[in-house]
Structure 1
Amino acid sequence: MTAPTLASTVHAATTYAPARSRAHGPTAALWHAVELHRPPAEVDGACELTVCGSLARVAVDEQWPTVARDVCPSCVVLTS
C-alpha cells in the first residue's frame, strides 16, 4: 500500500506545498507556500495558513517552488 502523493518540495527537513490565494480588494491572487504538518491526504485542496500568514487553497497537483510569475515574495524568502 502506498501513501497518497502530493507534489511538494522538501527543504531543510520541511515539506512545502504551493497554495493559491484569492484576490482580495486591490491585491492580486498569488501563489504561496504552505508548510505541511499533516499527511497529504488531509490537505487535499483545503485552505491552509501559508508561511507568510495568508490563507490559501493548497494545489495538490503543483510543486513548490512554483515557476509562476505571480508568487508571494515573502513566501519565497521564508522558504529559501
Structure 2
Amino acid sequence: MTTTTTTFVAARSRAHGPTAALWHAVEVHRTVADLDGACELTVCGSLARVSTERAWPATGTDVCPACTTQAR
C-alpha cells in the first residue's frame, strides 16, 4: 500500500500582455523530489513553472489572489 500526500508548491507564471508574472499554488500528489521544474496546472487554472526553491504560501505582492484563497 502506498500513501500519497497532498502538498502545495509554488509556481511562477509568465507575464503576458498586461498581466504580470505571479506566484501560484500547484497541488501535487507526488513527492517534491519528483518535480522537475516543468509547467503544471495551478489551483486557479493557469499554467506555471514549478519552483522547488520557493515554498507555498508565497509572500509578496506578486501572488495570485485566487490561489491564495483556494490553497488553504
Query: Normalising TM by the smaller chain, what interval?
Result: 0.7 to 0.9
Residue 43 of structure 1, aligned match among 2, 14, 35: 35
Aligned pair count? 68
Match of 1:69 in 2: 61
Structure 1 vs Structure 2: percent identity of aligned residues? 65
Listed as ranges, the gaps of 5+ residues in structure 1 are: 1-12
Secondary structure of 2:53 counterpart: coil
Q: What is the TM-score normalised by the length of structure 2? A: 0.85
Q: RMSD of the alignment, in Å?
A: 1.3
Q: What is the TM-score normalised by the length of structure 1? A: 0.77
Q: Pick the structure with more strand per residue.
A: 2
